[in-house]
Structure 1
Amino acid sequence: MTVSDPPPGDPYRPAWMPERPPSRLGTGSKVIIGVFAVALFFVAAVVVTPGARTISGQALEAPGAAAEAKAQRSEGSGSKKAEKVIELASNPLLGKDVRLTDVTCELPELGRSDAELTAFYEAQISCLDDAWHPALRQVGEPTSKALLQVKIPQVSRCGDAPDSKKALAYYCPGDSTIYAPREWMLEAVGVNKGSHLATIAHEYGHHVQNESGILNAASQQMTSDDESSPEDQERVRRIELQANCFGALFIAASAGRGDISASTANAAIADYGNTSDSETHGSRKHQLSWARAGSEEKNTAACDTWSAPASEVT
């Protein structure tokens, strides 16, 4: 896929980029930053050390987002049209009877080349579609396909790409693409299958938030451009902890079948706890606890971080 430079004034391209946050993991740690955007802009940072990483981020609504959402809702008046619902805790996707479809994933061997990683990720994304699309259709929300890139472009619909020292993987809702550059992924996690599964499932979780309208709703509540306020940091924690839970729902829906063994699934869930504490993504305890909530309860209501008390999203 070729992504052209965003035109002047493109609402998907931010006017700023966050500074590299200080590492809290001691000598040898690497700080990695990714970018998310849709009819909003979302930035995430990942801190990676051997066996530990943290993700943090921010969301801001872009100009025209509300008008775009309204236009989408007004189309297809003759029949019910799948549309985003710009709500958080009350989003239909988080209803108590919504579950992912159990899937049997056929995945090629995980390798180090562009072709091998692309084949592995695309097979997983196809399986993620099979698991998530019925749930989204159940509540009348869109099911656009997530795209994939294992080579980073200079710019995307989310603006300038981060350099190799500032990114592991990221999702850009502006072009519905998961960017997982081969060199960065292999340097961070090697060919640990559970880690690759967890990372892609987490990024796809942001795609689900985008499709459902949750990201739009969260962005409308942001009050600062740099996520510096305690309120915004808490909102971002709720976004990212939910993405962990959504990722774990998929892991649970595919565990013990096809090419995702029970032991590999357990390793993938545990990978969500290979973190350090983060003001924007939560404590190591809660990054893992929300993943476990998804994997154990196996319904989307378990991922309602928006109704959780502040003490559960620290």
Structure 2
Amino acid sequence: MRLRGVKRSGNVEDRRRSRGGGAKAGIGGVGLLVVLAIGYFTGIDVTPLLEQAAPQQSSAPREFSPQEEQAAAFASRVLATTETVWGNVFPEQLGVEYAPPVLVLYSGVTQSPCGGASGATGPFYCPADAKAYLDTEFFATLEQELGARGDFAAAYVIAHEVAHHVQNELGILGQVNEHRQAASDTQANALTVRLELQADCLSGVWAREVDGLLDPGDIDEALNAARRIGDDYLQKRAGRVPQPHTFTHGTSKQRSDWFARGYQSGQIRDCDTFGARSL
């Protein structure tokens, strides 16, 4: 992805020099929904993380490696592309203005109104403060452990979290949470799958809009990343037999298919996973 000429976003909150920093508050409602949904991103249960005690502050300033600095700059520029894309798409397709989220960069652990997080949780979006959270070291995990290589695979992950903010702006997160509270565990998981697949589709809409910045093979990198974080793939990778009733993000095929649908269409209306009979 060619980002050299893209200016960094001004909506970045860098907490990397303060390990464990950030506001801590109780979790509930939509906040709990989104954090728990992201737990399956790396196949790890994040519930214990949400019960952490108050964070400990590091007394010494932390130095960043060139790789970490490059990751932070990359994330900021990708965020800037999402601001441009959705800032144009919202008025064009919906007739409303778009209010962008803040991206929180952290290292190790941090706190949010949706609870605590560490690199093990993977990136997540907290609707309580309209911020996306990213441990920059996750990019290495994405490539080395999950096999999702390439800069556009990392860009897709950021775009996916911003897509949750798009859903929040449209009131979708709140509606889904209301339905989940009245549903069984299996039904609630099924609703979360549709939520996540819609975010994948919206990521595809973003990808279509930044097509002029893409290198050959970038879309394949995003599709591979989507497949590598499918629930069935992650459960097999963890040595378990896939259990569809526990899925919260969708299968590898579903994730890549919905991303492709958004990329081919470029229309928000075509990302209606809740109205789709078949995923």
Structure with the higher strand share, 1 or 2: 1
Residue of structure 1 equivalent to 2:27 = 14
Q: Which AA in structure 1 matches 2:208?
A: A
Q: Is the CA contact 1:241–1:305 (under 8 Å) kept in the aligned structure 2?
A: yes
Report matched runs for 1:50-89 at 5 Å: none
Matched, 1:155 2:123: no
Structure 2 runs not aligned, ≥5 long: 1-12, 16-20, 47-64, 233-243
Q: Is the CA contact 1:55–1:240 (under 8 Å) kept in the aligned structure 2?
A: no
Instruction: Find the aligned partners of 2:44 and 2:90 in 1 and give their Cα distance.
Output: 26
Higher relative contact order, chain-length normalized (CA < 8 Å, sep 6+) = 1
Cα gap change, 1:41 to 1:179, in 2 (>3 Å) = closer
Question: Which of these residues, 268, 271, 278, is aligned with residue 303 of structure 1?
Answer: 271
Q: Is the CA contact 1:56–1:236 (under 8 Å) kept in the aligned structure 2?
A: no
Q: Is the CA contact 1:14–1:41 (under 8 Å) kept in the aligned structure 2?
A: no
Structure 1 runs not aligned, ≥5 long: 8-12, 17-35, 58-110
Report matched runs for 1:218-297 at 5 Å: 218-223=176-181, 229-255=185-211, 257-258=212-213, 260-274=214-228, 275-277=230-232, 279-297=247-265
Q: Which AA in structure 2 matches 1:288?
A: S
Residue of structure 1 equivalent to 2:36 = 43
The CA RMSD over aligned residues, in Å, is: 3.0
Question: Which of these residues, 76, 80, 90, is aligned with residue 126 of structure 1?
Answer: 80
Cα gap change, 1:265 to 1:133, in 2 (>3 Å) = same
Cα gap change, 1:185 to 1:293, in 2 (>3 Å) = same
Deviation, 1:132, is 0.9
Q: Is the CA contact 1:45–1:55 (under 8 Å) kept in the aligned structure 2?
A: no
> What is the identity percentage for the equivalent residue pairs of Structure 1 and Structure 2?
22
Q: Which AA in structure 2 matches 1:239?
A: L
Residue of structure 2 equivalent to 1:89 = none
Structure with the higher helix share, 1 or 2: 2
Q: Which AA in structure 2 matches 1:123?
A: R
Cα gap change, 1:15 to 1:172, in 2 (>3 Å) = closer
